[in-house]
């Protein structure tokens, strides 16, 4: 049976991610694992993450799973969620922290001086709640999801890719920022699909059926 592995490195809402995938993939083998061999043997892999970037990278390094994660990231359908997206980049201002370097770019904090909307409303950091997501280009994981569908966010930092072409989704807070990226067999979201009701479950279902080929 094909296996979907949620990487357990001591951070992230692992069970809620696994349960959401189980909901859209009944009968599939969905496991949460900190075993490098299990991760390397997976057919597709999910890297979740929450808390702070220094803690997440420290946890991943301490778990001894960096090589296994990099190995599956190279050739299997791979989904990063929240800090699991941010860890794919070169470095983060939070810490600052060196990250996995799979996607060239950096992760920056929302600037306090840029948190005023055109209407004069002052937004707070972190960005928490529901926001519409613009699909910047087609991708298999957007299939059946309305452009502008709302997803759930909880973050103070966001990615800035060196190559704008990897951006497949943007949201506004209040300025536009990259909230979903894709390259080859990798797709990652700043928002939490497991907390995003119908649209989030649709994205996870698309991931379960995705062959890892660029759209």
The answer to whether 116 and 89 have CB atoms below 8 angstroms apart is no
Helix (H, G, I), strand (E, B) or coil at 80: strand
In a domain, 10, yes or no: yes
C-alpha closest to that of 84 among 92, 75, 95: 92
In a domain, 99, yes or no: yes
Question: What CA–CA distance (Å, rounded) separates 153 from 157?
Answer: 11
Tell me the two tokens of residue 131. 């926001």
Give the model's pLDDT for residue 159: 98
The total number of structural domains in the chain stands at: 1
| pLDDT tens by residue, 38-64 | 999 999 999 998 889 999 999 999 999
Catalytic residue among 56, 94, 155, 194: 194
Q: For residue 104, give the CATH number of its domain.
A: 3.40.50.880
In a domain, 88, yes or no: yes
Q: Provide φ and ψ at 53, rounded to 5°.
A: -55, -45
In a domain, 214, yes or no: no
**Active-site residue 158, yes or no?**
no
In a domain, 215, yes or no: no
Which residues constitute the domain of residue 48? Answer: 3-209
In a domain, 19, yes or no: yes
In a domain, 8, yes or no: yes
pTM of this prediction?
0.97
**Active-site residue 192, yes or no?**
yes
**Active-site residue 23, yes or no?**
no
55-59, 86-90, 175-179: range with lowest mean pLDDT = 55-59
In a domain, 176, yes or no: yes
Catalytic residue among 56, 82, 99, 179: 82
């Amino acid at each position: 049976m094909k296996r979907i592995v949620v990487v357990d490195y001591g951070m992230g809402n692992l069970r809620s991610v696994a349960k959401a995938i189980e909901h859209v993939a009944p009968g599939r083998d969905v496991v949460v694992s900190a075993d490098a061999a299990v991760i390397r043997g997976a057919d597709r892999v999910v890297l979740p993450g929450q808390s702070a970037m220094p803690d997440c990278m420290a946890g991943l390094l301490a778990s001894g799973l960096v090589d296994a994660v990099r190995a599956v990231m190279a050739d299997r359908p791979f989904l990063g969620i929240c800090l699991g997206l941010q860890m794919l980049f070169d470095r983060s201002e939070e810490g600052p922290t060196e990250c996995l370097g799979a996607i060239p770019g950096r992760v920056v904090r929302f600037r306090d001086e840029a948190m005023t909307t055109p209407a004069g409303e002052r937004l707070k950091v972190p960005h928490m709640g529901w926001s519409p997501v613009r699909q910047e280009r087609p991708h298999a994981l957007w299939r059946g999801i309305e452009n502008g569908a709302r997803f759930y966010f909880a973050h103070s930092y966001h990615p800035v890719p060196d190559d704008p072409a990897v951006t497949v989704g943007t949201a506004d807070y209040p300025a536009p920022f990259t909230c979903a990226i894709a390259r080859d067999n990798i797709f990652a979201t700043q928002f939490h699909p497991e907390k995003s009701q119908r649209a989030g479950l649709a994205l996870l279902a698309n991931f379960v059926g995705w062959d890892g080929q660029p759209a």
